[in-house]
Amino acid sequence: MTLATTLEALGENRHCLRLEGRVDSLTATQLEQALLGLWDGAEARVLVDFQALDYISSAGLRIILMAAKRALRGRGRLLLCALQPRVVEVFEMSGFLKILDVAATRELGLAELAEAV
């Protein structure tokens, strides 16, 4: 299976990136290209929607961690939402759920992102 990404503009410096399929060593570069450039502007806020993502490997986790670091450097925000059970398990085993912001649903993520300053 492949990875599909859809970028939705939510307003000034706010975006939602929807992921569909799998993030593995073959598709991690695609995620990197779609995600990391969003922090070229200062204080960008990004919601990554995992609702349709079935799998993420360590290569994908590395990209998510890089994005979180860019968000911090640019005084922005990275928020993940709607993680599926198999994906949650990978994030739990890696310890990433302790260091990343996660919303249970897209709606909650959008609301939280709108409140972020």
Residue bearing tokens 């060593």: 25
Average pLDDT value for residue range 64-75:
93
What band does 3 get if pLDDT is binned at 50, 70 and 90? very high
- Residues 6+ positions from 88 with CB-CB distance below 8 Å: 97
Give bridge partners of residue 102 from the DSSP assignment. Answer: 80
- Residues 6+ positions from 58 with CB-CB distance below 8 Å: 94
CB atoms inside a 10 Å sphere around CB 80: 23
Share of the chain above pLDDT 70, in %: 97
Alpha helices in 1-117 (DSSP H): 28-35, 58-73, 85-94, 106-115
Distance CA 117, CA 51 (A): 25
- The predicted-structure confidence for 49-65, as pLDDT tens digits, reads as follows 999 999 999 999 999 99
